Amino acid sequence: MRENAAPPVDPRPPVTTAHQGNDEHGGAPARRFPLPLRLAGAAVHAYTALGSVLALLVVLAAFEGEAVTALWLGLAALWIDGTDGMLARRARVKETIPWFDGALLDNIVDYLTYVFAPVVLLWTTGALSHSWVGWLLAALPLLASSYQFCRVDAKTDDHTFLGFPSYWNVVAFYAVVLDLSQVVVAVVLVVCSVLVFVPVRYLYPSRTEALWQVSISLTVVWLVTYAVLLLQYPDPHWVVVVLSFAYVVYYLAFSGWLTARAAHRRRRAARTA
């Protein structure tokens, strides 16, 4: 071998470490976050995942005939879902744990707590008839929400839900505490399942910017009425029922306004295009 011969060229690209290399867009090296912040992000994801355990407990309580216990667990799941997003943004989970898909985790947990467990509760409480009709009605929310949870536009850029946002836990709540008939429950399930496919915008209480303070305040009041109605079960006071339904009316009316506003913006953009 000649001493002056050039060394063979390695065809492989040079290997760089995380501290040496730039990102794929040619920017600065990936930023390293302090361990406490990364642990906080992991804790938030664990907090979200706790909802899946609550869904299991709801199902177990439902099969044991403990409908009120199941609804208390459902309230806890609602609280987690309503607060984990805020905690995630504070912990900057998308930056500190970029390899973990928190949105996917949230969808999995939401499907269990908002769709699957409530349908089980409707079945075990007798809100659905134990016949082929009941089976069909139980399948409607499961199938419709399977579609909705896979839509990439289910949550719009201006923070609203597109299509009925699978609040089957709310349907199950009213079905139990108000002892709704099977006919009423059947109508609600059919109508709401159809509305999943109708492109109406619905209020996202913790994110919709328009009248955010009003919406979040009324949502808290509704959660309080939820707890009071459970404490009063099986004899809810009519005043609490009215207050609870007043929020539902506000939610639907405001969602209609959001839909009309979005349509107006689209028409205005079309005229100026």
| pLDDT tens sequence across 237-262 | 999 999 999 999 999 999 999 999 99
In a domain, 132, yes or no: no
Cβ contact 54:73 at 8 Å? yes
d(Cα 250, Cα 268) in Å, to the nearest integer? Answer: 27
In a domain, 262, yes or no: yes
d(Cα 244, Cα 235) in Å, to the nearest integer? Answer: 15
Check whether 112 has a pLDDT greater than 90: yes
Average pLDDT score over the chain: 90
d(Cα 213, Cα 223) in Å, to the nearest integer? Answer: 15
In a domain, 220, yes or no: yes
In a domain, 98, yes or no: no
The model's confidence at residue 21, banded by pLDDT at 50, 70 and 90, is very low
Number of structural domains the chain divides into: 1
Tokens 């979200």 belong to residue: 48
For the record, the structure tokens of 247 come out as 């929020």
Per-residue pLDDT at 273:
76
Element (H, E) at 202: strand 201-203
Nearest residue to 45 (alpha-carbon basis) of 96, 119, 114: 96
Tokens 């539902």 belong to residue: 248
In a domain, 251, yes or no: yes
Tokens 């719009």 belong to residue: 156
pLDDT in tens, 58-105: 999 999 999 999 999 999 999 999 999 999 999 999 999 999 999 999
The model's confidence at residue 199, banded by pLDDT at 50, 70 and 90, is very high
In a domain, 242, yes or no: yes
The model's confidence at residue 11, banded by pLDDT at 50, 70 and 90, is very low
Domain hosting residue 225, numbered range: 208-267
In a domain, 8, yes or no: no
In a domain, 239, yes or no: yes
Q: How much is the pTM?
A: 0.86
Per-residue pLDDT at 31:
65
